[in-house]
């Protein structure tokens, strides 16, 4: 595996597209932790984040040709981030709708505990993490993604590539997003902000 | 003076500037206290956000080492532990159970079906006599040998996982043909060894699709479903037959009340007719019983009819062979229906009141009662509770002019007059709902731990089970003409809207989707049904004809919409919509046009109840939760005058308007103040009618009682 670890993403992708399993392993080990971290921040559950990270890498595994190789600039990480963010946001959206529906069902269900819905799931967790996550998700999706990726360690160039924005505008977009976040957070939890 | 570019400063702070840019910014900073202040502020914001968002990063125990994750992924890709590349390898679909795909087995079962039916009777009457079941044994052996390992494995698992998700398509048939399902007992099932492992029963199923591995609640004995108290044992569907030739139930006169009680697997009581609703003690009771012979009967049995009080003390009785001895049971032909008239004289000075009418059969030679099983009537001491009769005129002083309220308390269904008099327990169950004429009550009760729909008279008499399924049932709703009930049934997240006649016949599934369909609501003319649907992504309100045709989506998918309710004039549908995070009551035309919010709720408010339209169409009632307090509100149907009616009470999910639209009944969950309450529609005159009431459902009788 040692030769794999020094190869660029583009080289590994090329080999993967040719059917080389070991290249997939190298790409996985290289990018898994960052993708997992982003998903964990959004989903807040180890199991969910691991499952979804697997989904993301399975997409790469089954269809590596979806990423175009452009010289050595091929952005495997950017593609993985984009897929991860889309999957996570879709999941969150349907989670929210499902929760709302389960709430309806819980109210209709007249048989107490022998019931299909689990009311405990419906009680919004009051722990700090959940509240912070809620504020993050209340931001405009583009701002939330920017904050999320920056604060999990992406460089300006990576941010620009993943989010498809001009590298020169990252600083000002970041400034605006952070202000919006701070303002929302302070408004929601004034007692904790001072 | 140069302007301070915040973005540049921020990039400087993050070390993301080129050397030239950095130099430029540093120069600027040296000259400009304004820029320095900006930078300090940016730094502070960045740290604050970084700290807050840092709370979301995985802790040490939530870390997911990449090596392990890769192993898990590889295990998933190569479940057989295969080594080597698995790229582009498609996973093979799981092997389905073979029974359904085995035409030879199906042919075998079909060929044996006529014999099988005959032999089955022998088995049921005489026990498992090997000599009589050669034909049956072929099937048993094939099933047992071919499928035993698979079946045995399923039985060992908990019930939930016994039912695999795949469904089995029956051979194509016309609609509404009774379908017979061959079931195989996998372990002994109650009552001695009548069902021994490997024995075969049949189960009637109205639908054409059934999950394989389905666990039948009842095994069909002869002609009708006989209850088998399957608690310890399980019956698992292993084959399915379509028997279009079999007629369902024999014709009864219109005035007769159908039921099913099977005596000793030989004789079935299929209905009865009472000549008078209120019995005059001087005249006694005129009762007609309708019997059907299920097979040739060797012995002559005697009918007994008892009139018993609430303590089961027998106060009057009649014993006689059927048709006054003119039609002894030994002469009955299989499938023959016998009309059997009885007269039960009453002793003198019989006290006015309600009494149970109980029927059974016994062997006059031994005095031994025949065992009886009934799916829809109460059985006690090998006799069946036919109905409850009123002897003499009912005491009119208990009747209330303001109607009666149905509610739940102590896991029972109770009724109380709106003036607070005459609290009565009617039945064990949930979700009671008045028929439009106030004469009957539909409700849910559990059978084999599954909720099923029952209908009983308004006084609790004659509870009759309507539904049979392995799914759950919710929300029975009477059609405006009182002839039918709509309800919700399904498993887990997939539920559908059904209708069934109020006598339990003709159950039809109206929706057929992988969605969660709930809240069926009849239009006031009974022609259409509105309902709410969640397809895993969108919540919308639909309307369809009462036969399921002409399905139309009424709402715009951008909001989450549910709980439709028709205006009493049928022109509008009110519903609840969550747009963003805000719940509001909306009104739209019955065709979905012109949706308009009636309320303007703050974003923290949540509507936690049904919407309930006042009978006069003027107001809608709902519960709104603000800051942890759930209060009862009304709003005019034109959106004006939103009014909070309750203070300091947490109100439940359902309310009931009085027939004159002047008052509301509701359940309060508030500690020390829990119970059934009444309140005037203007918020005055709060009264507690009953304590310890539990939710969620409350119903006010639709008509004033006389």
Question: Chain A contact for B89, CB < 8 A?
Answer: no
0.85 surpassed by complex ipTM: no
Q: Nearest CA to B267 among B369, B365, B341, B186?
A: B369
**B488-545: pLDDT as tens digits:** 887 766 788 999 999 888 888 899 877 888 899 999 999 999 999 988 778 899 999 9
Cis peptide before B603 (omega within 30 of 0): no
Among A56-65, B155-164, B240-249, B286-295, the least confident range: B155-164
User: Judged by CB atoms within 8 Å, which residues 300-329 of B form the interface with A?
Assistant: none
Question: Chain A contact for B427, CB < 8 A?
Answer: no
Alpha-carbon distance of B354 to B331, in angstroms, equals: 37
Alpha-carbon distance of B675 to B683, in angstroms, equals: 17
CA distance B261 to chain A (A): 28
Tokens 């399915």 map to which residue? B240
Backbone phi and psi for residue B87, each to the nearest 5 degrees, phi listed first: -60, 140
Q: Nearest CA to A35 among A88, A73, A106?
A: A88
Nearest CA in chain B to A97: B537
Averaged pLDDT for residues B689-704: 75
CB B529 within 8 A of CB B538: no
Which of B4, B5, B10 should we substitute to test contact with A (largest number of A Cβ atoms within 10 Å)? B10
| 3 state DSSP class of B252 | coil
Residue B255 neighbours by CB under 8 Å, 6+ apart: B273
* Chain B residues touching A107 at Cβ < 8 A: 608-609, 653, 696
Alpha-carbon distance of B72 to B95, in angstroms, equals: 23
Question: Chain A contact for B449, CB < 8 A?
Answer: yes
**B20-60: pLDDT as tens digits:** 889 988 988 888 888 898 899 999 999 999 888 988 888 87
Alpha-carbon distance of B459 to B278, in angstroms, equals: 13
CA distance A129 to chain B (A): 6
User: Judged by CB atoms within 8 Å, which residues 131-190 of A form the interface with B?
Assistant: 132-133, 136, 147-148, 151-152, 155-156, 168-175, 178-179, 181-182, 185
Mean pLDDT split into 10-residue runs, chain A, 194 residues: 66 85 88 92 89 92 79 77 91 77 62 34 53 85 91 88 89 93 83 54
CB atoms within 10 A of CB B376: 22
Tokens 């509507």 map to which residue? B607
Are A171 and B10 within 8 A, CB to CB? yes
Q: Nearest CA to B646 among B687, B617, B608?
A: B687
Counting residues of chain B whose pLDDT is more than 90, the rounded percentage is: 26
Alpha-carbon distance of B329 to B315, in angstroms, equals: 27
Nearest to A111 among B430, B609, B697 (CB): B430
Asked whether the predicted pLDDT for residue B201 surpasses 80, the reply is no
Nearest to A108 among B16, B474, B537 (CB): B474
CB B434 within 8 A of CB B404: no
Q: Nearest CA to B200 among B211, B216, B212?
A: B216
Q: Nearest CA to B586 among B553, B614, B563?
A: B563
Specify the length of chain B in residues.
Answer: 706
Q: Which residues pair with B626 in a beta bridge?
A: B629
Which of A37, A111, A157 should we substitute to test contact with B (largest number of B Cβ atoms within 10 Å)? A111
Are A172 and B10 within 8 A, CB to CB? yes
Question: Chain A contact for B22, CB < 8 A?
Answer: no
CB B546 within 8 A of CB B585: no
Nearest CA in chain A to B604: A188
Q: Pick the more confident residue, B567 or B158.
A: B567
Question: pTM for the full model?
Answer: 0.52
| 3 state DSSP class of B525 | coil
CB B583 within 8 A of CB B600: no
């Amino acid at each position: 595996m040692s030769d794999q670890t020094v190869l660029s993403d583009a080289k590994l992708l090329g080999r993967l597209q040719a059917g080389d399993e070991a290249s997939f392993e190298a790409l996985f080990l290289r990018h898994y932790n960052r993708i997992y971290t982003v998903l964990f921040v959004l989903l807040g559950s180890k199991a969910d984040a691991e499952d979804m990270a697997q989904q993301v890498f399975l997409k790469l595994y089954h269809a590596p040709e979806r990423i175009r190789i452009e010289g050595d600039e091929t952005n495997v990480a950017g593609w993985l981030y984009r897929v991860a963010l889309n999957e996570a946001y879709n999941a969150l959206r349907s989670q929210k709708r499902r929760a709302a529906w389960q709430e309806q069902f819980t109210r209709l269900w007249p048989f107490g505990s022998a019931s299909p819905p689990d009311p405990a799931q419906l009680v919004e967790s009051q722990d700090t993490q959940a509240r912070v996550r809620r504020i993050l998700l209340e931001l405009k999706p583009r701002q939330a993604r920017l904050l999320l990726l920056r604060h999990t360690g992406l460089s300006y160039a990576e941010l620009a590539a993943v989010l498809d924005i001009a590298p020169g505008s990252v600083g000002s977009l970041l400034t605006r997003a952070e202000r919006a976040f701070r303002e929302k957070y302070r408004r929601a939890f004034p007692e904790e902000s001072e | 003076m140069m302007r301070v570019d915040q973005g540049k400063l921020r990039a400087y702070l993050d070390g993301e500037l080129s050397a030239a840019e950095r130099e430029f910014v540093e120069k600027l900073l040296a000259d400009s206290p304004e820029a320095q202040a900006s930078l300090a502020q940016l730094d502070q914001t960045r740290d604050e956000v970084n700290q807050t968002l840092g709370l979301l990063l995985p802790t040490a125990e939530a870390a997911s080492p990449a090596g392990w994750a890769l192993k898990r992924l590889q295990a998933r890709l190569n479940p057989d532990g295969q080594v080597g590349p698995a790229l582009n390898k498609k996973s093979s679909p799981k092997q389905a159970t073979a029974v359904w795909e085995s035409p030879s087995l199906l042919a075998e079962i079909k060929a044996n079906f006529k014999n099988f039916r005959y032999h089955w009777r022998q088995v049921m009457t005489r026990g498992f006599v090997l000599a009589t079941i050669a034909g049956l044994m072929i099937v048993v052996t094939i099933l047992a040998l071919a499928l035993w390992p698979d079946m045995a494995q399923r039985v060992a698992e908990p019930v939930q996982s016994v039912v695999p998700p795949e469904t089995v398509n029956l051979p194509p048939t016309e609609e509404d043909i009774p379908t017979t399902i061959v079931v195989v007992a996998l372990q002994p099932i109650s009552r001695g060894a009548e069902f021994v492992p490997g024995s075969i029963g049949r189960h009637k199923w109205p639908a054409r699709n059934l999950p394989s591995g389905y666990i039948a609640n009842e095994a069909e004995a002869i002609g009708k479903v006989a209850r088998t108290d399957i608690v310890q044992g399980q019956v698992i569907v292993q084959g399915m037959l379509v028997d279009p030739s079999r007629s369902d139930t024999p014709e009864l006169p219109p005035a007769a009340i159908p039921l099913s009680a099977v005596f000793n697997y030989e004789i079935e009581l299929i209905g009865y007719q009472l000549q008078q609703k209120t019995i005059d003690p001087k005249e006694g009771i005129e009762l007609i019983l309708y019997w059907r012979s299920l097979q040739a009967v060797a012995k002559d049995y005697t009918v007994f009819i008892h009139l018993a009080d609430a303590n089961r003390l027998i106060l009057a009785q009649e014993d006689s062979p059927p048709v006054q001895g003119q039609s002894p049971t030994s002469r009955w032909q299989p499938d023959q229906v016998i009309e059997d008239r009885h007269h039960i004289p009453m002793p003198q000075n019989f006290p006015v009141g309600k009494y149970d009418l109980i029927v059974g059969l016994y062997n006059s030679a031994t005095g031994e009662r025949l065992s009886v099983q009934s799916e829809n009537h109460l059985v006690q001491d090998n006799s069946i509770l036919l109905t409850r009769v009123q002897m003499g005129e009912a005491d009119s002083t208990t009747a209330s002019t303001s109607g009666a309220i149905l509610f739940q308390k102590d896991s029972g269904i109770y009724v109380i007059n709106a003036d607070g008099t005459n609290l009565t327990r009617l039945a064990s169950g949930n979700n009671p709902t008045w028929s439009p004429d106030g004469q009957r009550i539909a409700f849910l009760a559990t059978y084999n731990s599954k909720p099923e729909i029952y209908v009983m008279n308004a006084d609790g008499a004659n509870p009759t089970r309507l539904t049979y399924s392995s799914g759950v049932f919710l929300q029975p709703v009477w059609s405006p003409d009182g002839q039918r009930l709509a309800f919700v049934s399904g498993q887990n997240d997939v539920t559908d809207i059904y209708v069934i006649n109020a006598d339990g016949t003709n159950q039809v599934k109206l929706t057929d989707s992988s969605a969660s369909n709930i809240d069926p609501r009849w239009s006031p003319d009974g022609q259409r049904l509105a309902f709410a649907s969640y397809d895993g992504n969108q919540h919308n309100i639909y309307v369809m004809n009462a036969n399921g045709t002409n399905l139309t989506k009424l709402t715009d998918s951008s909001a989450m919409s549910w709980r439709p309710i028709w205006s009493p004039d049928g022109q509008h549908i009110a519903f609840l919509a969550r747009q963003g995070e805000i719940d509001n009551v909306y009104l739209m035309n019955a065709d979905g046009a012109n949706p308009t919010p009636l309320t303007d709720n703050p974003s923290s408010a949540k509507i936690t109840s049904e919407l309930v339209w006042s009978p006069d169409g003027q107001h809608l009632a709902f519960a709104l939760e603000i800051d942890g307090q759930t209060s009862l509100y009304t709003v005019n149907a034109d959106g004006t005058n939103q009014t909070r009616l309750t203070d300091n009470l947490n109100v439940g999910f359902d309310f009931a308007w009085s027939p004159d639209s002047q008052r509301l009944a509701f359940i309060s969950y508030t500690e020390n103040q829990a119970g059934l309450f009444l309140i005037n529609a203007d918020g005055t005159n709060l009264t507690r009618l009953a304590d310890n009431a539990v939710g969620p459902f409350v119903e006010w009788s639709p008509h004033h009682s006389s």
